[in-house]
Amino acid sequence: MIVNRDTQISDWSLIQMIARQFVDEGEDSLQYAVIMIAALVVKPDAERIAQLAGYPQEFVDQVAARLNESGLWKNDFTDYQEWDHRTLLGRIRFVQDLLVAKGKLFRTGEKRRGQYVYVASAVICRAAQHA
């Protein structure tokens, strides 16, 4: 996904437009999508994203922590998969990253066939309990 920073539309309008390409208005996933996409537009800065979106800082911080822990946010840039709302694979990749934001999946640092491995967050919790 390419974000054109030279456009005349506002950052907020751009974020909402992109989010709605993946998530329908009114779905509970929309807030998570907005946070993920905002990081593409204004960098992964939880405080700035909370202000821009009008979301509670605590909520954005929780989502940001999951994205940071999974390596999807790294300092001042994002490391998302290639999203494309027009293709099945592109939508699947978006949903995988969205599920990380929601705390359902965790992206490991491991790659198989050039793609990151995602595991259920419950698996990570059980492994930590037995360690």
pTM of the model: 0.85
Give the total number of structural domains in the chain: 1
- The confidence band for 109, taking pLDDT boundaries of 50, 70 and 90, is confident
Q: How buried is residue 90: exposed, middle or buried, by Cβ count under 10 Å (0-12/13-18/19+)?
A: middle
How many Å apart are CA 70 and CA 100, to the nearest integer? 7
Residue 88 in domain: yes
Residue 89 in domain: yes
Q: Tell me what pLDDT residue 114 has.
A: 87
Residue 100 in domain: yes
Q: Over the stretch 39-79, which tens digit does the pLDDT of each residue have?
A: 999 999 999 999 999 999 999 999 999 999 999 999 889 99
Residue 4 in domain: no
Tell me which residue range forms the domain holding 77: 11-130
